[in-house]
Amino acid sequence: MLQVSYIVENKEKVIAGLQKRNIPQVQDILNEVIILDEKRRNTQLTLDQNLAEANTIAKQIGALMKEGKRAEAEGIKQRTSELKATNKQLSEELEATKQSLLKALYNIPNVPHDSVPLGNSEEDNEEVSRHGNLPALGDHAMPHWDLIKKYDIIDFELGIKITGAGFPVYKGKGARLQRALINFFLDEATSAGYGEVQPPIVVNEASGYGTGQLPDKEGQMYHIGNENLYLIPTAEVPITNLYRDVIVDQNDLPIKHVGFTPCFRREAGSWGAHVRGLNRLHQFDKVEIVQVRKPEESYQALEEMCSHVEGLLKKLQLPYRILRLCAGDLGFTSVLTFDFEVYSAAQKKWLEVSSVSNFETYQANRLKLRFKGPDKKTQLLHTLNGSALALPRILAAILENNQDETGIVIPEVLRPYTGFDRI
RNA sequence: AGAGGAGUGGCAGAGUGGUCGAAUGCGGCAGUCUUGAAAACUGUUGUACCGCGAGGUACCGGGGGUUCGAAUCCCUCCUCCUCUGCCA
């Protein structure tokens, strides 16, 4: 969430930024925050003063009791019971104000970067660059949902039987190819300096709030009611939350992690004809990279991460394009996001396979993720993450783009991992 | 899952109703000494909020309660340890 001090000091910039996101009544929302914060401070001040007085009296009573002056002690107890009543009221008021303030802040998204283009939907995203040649497939070309049946490598019906729609079963060479992609992505990230972690794929409420999935995306996560836990929608959640409530030693920066996890998304309300096959699933595999950086380095880190993702796509020899997300399509917590899309030749459309974002201090503020600067003061760090990569659409593109009359050609770099060169 | 025990500052570990944000040791930082290092000695060393400042307030696993006053007493939740049970 945004810091109140930042809102106060950069009000015009914040208003302009949030207006880019088409948020109605931005001024009113920000004013409410500022008023609540003032109220919080005033209430705190009065309460602190009362508490100071109560503390003083308590000490006096202690001293009097020791001297055996009981009667005198009883006398000043009067004042404390008055204070007690007021203080109870004040602290309830303070708590309520803090809660309202927090709630208001939770509902304000991050301020987009200056370079974020205007726009309402994915139609308005800016294409930054395009790489690789689009394959020309013959008339015999099949979309991946037919290919997986033909070669019996993924079974949706079986998944429906044991779980439900959107939970595919990978079989034989299909399963092996999944494992190959995961290992390839993990190895690439490890050689690029990312420390591998294997986090839990179930997280508590505090973690959900830490990275901003809660309360914004409450309905999009699977919830385990009897334990009040959530299935992760992305490894971003557990990995970034590793650093919740942490003051990082300067020497431990930068922090770079990679992790493979399954991801779970309810995708409520987003199903339709365009989400056939592997295009959209409830459970999918993803390798995620996460960085925690000093503020002045975070945009350099964003570039590094984008280059890493590009490197993967180049090695897989997939045609791809890079998009700068417009304000309307930008995630709630993000300042700047680049999407990577691969071309799916038989569907003749671009599929998003990675999203690389800088959150600046937005998550860190919720996480209380800080470091001690040279001036010995604690300050918030910047967090970033990106998919490197999400598997299903990569798989879809490989299947479609690399098909020929007799099968599917496995990209060179994956062969050491698959142990076969064709399906 | 049942019974018992325990959670204190970066770590170890005192503290069972007032003078305790908390002894002591270790570690960290700064300095003295030294060609340098080590040792020794001296000082310093949590976080957040409020305040221009002096300073104030809160925090001893989380939350609630008793009391003029809680690290200390009570309730509750969480976590860890031991034993019993179950189990990949």
The CATH number of the domain where A136 resides is what?
3.30.930.10
Distance between CA atoms of A214 and A221, rounded to whole angstroms?
9
Residue A7, CB, less than 7 Å from strand B? no
Residue A76, CB, less than 7 Å from strand B? no
Residue A49, CB, less than 7 Å from strand B? yes
Given A48, A71, A106, the domain boundary residue is A106
Determine the pLDDT at residue A84. 86
Report the amino acid identity of residue A304: E
Distance between CA atoms of A269 and A291, rounded to whole angstroms?
32
Given A55, A82, A106, the domain boundary residue is A106
Distance CA A255 to C1' B32 in A? 38
Residue A112 lies in a domain: no
Determine the pLDDT at residue A273. 53
C-alpha A11: how far from its chain's center? 25
Cα Rg, chain A, nearest whole Å: 27
Strand-strand pairing, A202-204 and A320-324: unpaired
Residue A55, CB, less than 7 Å from strand B? yes
Determine the pLDDT at residue A270. 64
Distance CA A264 to C1' B3 in A? 39
Residue A279 lies in a domain: yes
C-alpha A176: how far from its chain's center? 29
Residue A115 lies in a domain: no
Q: In sequence order, what E strands does A209-348 have?
A: 223-224, 229-231, 247-248, 255-264, 283-293, 320-324, 336-344
Cβ-based contacts (< 7 Å) between A 343-372 and strand B:
370, 372
Determine the pLDDT at residue A272. 61
Distance CA A227 to C1' B86 in A? 20
Determine the pLDDT at residue A269. 63
Distance between CA atoms of A390 and A52, rounded to whole angstroms?
56
Determine the pLDDT at residue A283. 95
Counting the structural domains of chain A, the total is: 2
Q: Do residues A56 and A153 share a domain?
A: no
Q: Do residues A274 and A352 share a domain?
A: yes
Determine the pLDDT at residue A241. 93
Q: Which residues of chain A have pLDDT under 70?
A: 268-274
Given A80, A106, A132, the domain boundary residue is A106
Q: Do residues A102 and A126 share a domain?
A: no
Both tokens of residue A24? 């109605």
Q: Do residues A332 and A258 share a domain?
A: yes
Q: Do residues A22 and A147 share a domain?
A: no
Task: Give the nucleotide at minimum CA-to-C1' distance from A76.
Answer: B68
Strand-strand pairing, A247-248 and A370-372: parallel
Task: Give the nucleotide at minimum CA-to-C1' distance from A50.
Answer: B57
Q: Do residues A128 and A95 share a domain?
A: no
Distance CA A370 to C1' B7 in A? 26
Distance CA A200 to C1' B2 in A? 28
Q: State in Å, rounded, how far the first CA of chain A is from the last one.
A: 48
Q: Do residues A220 and A76 share a domain?
A: no
Q: Do residues A143 and A69 share a domain?
A: no
Residue A70, CB, less than 7 Å from strand B? no
Cβ-based contacts (< 7 Å) between A 198-257 and strand B:
247
Q: Do residues A189 and A64 share a domain?
A: no
Q: Do residues A369 and A402 share a domain?
A: yes
Cβ A186 vs Cβ A289: under 8 Å: no
Residue A116 lies in a domain: no
Residue among A353, A322, A309 nearest A129 (CA): A322
Residue among A189, A184, A408, A409 nearest A289 (CA): A189
Cβ A261 vs Cβ A238: under 8 Å: yes
Cβ-based neighbours of A419, under 8 Å, separated by 6 or more: A176
Cβ A205 vs Cβ A228: under 8 Å: yes
Query: A288: buried, middle or exposed (CB in 10 Å: 19+, 13-18, 0-12)?
Result: buried
Cβ-based neighbours of A62, under 8 Å, separated by 6 or more: none
Cβ A97 vs Cβ A287: under 8 Å: no
Residue A31 lies in a domain: yes
Task: Give the nucleotide at minimum CA-to-C1' distance from A62.
Answer: B18
Task: Give the nucleotide at minimum CA-to-C1' distance from A73.
Answer: B68
Which of the nucleotides in strand B have any atom less than 7 Å away from a protein CB atom?
18-19, 47-51, 56-58, 68-69
Q: Do residues A142 and A80 share a domain?
A: no
Distance CA A101 to C1' B72 in A? 35
Residue A154 lies in a domain: yes
Distance CA A252 to C1' B46 in A? 20
Kindly state the DSSP code that residue A276 receives in the 8-state scheme: T
Cβ A143 vs Cβ A354: under 8 Å: no
Buried b (16+ CB within 10 A) or exposed e, A200-221: ebebeeebbbbbbbbebbeebb
H or E segment to which residue A252 belongs: none
Residue A259 lies in a domain: yes
Q: Do residues A32 and A156 share a domain?
A: no
Task: Give the nucleotide at minimum CA-to-C1' distance from A66.
Answer: B18
Residue among A233, A179, A181, A182 nearest A208 (CA): A233
Distance CA A50 to C1' B60 in A? 24
The CATH number given to whatever domain includes residue A35 is 1.10.287
Distance CA A277 to C1' B79 in A? 44
Task: Give the nucleotide at minimum CA-to-C1' distance from A372.
Answer: B47
Residue A22 lies in a domain: yes
Torsion of CA A177, A233, A314, A139, to 10 degrees: 60
Q: Which domain holds residue A84?
A: 4-106
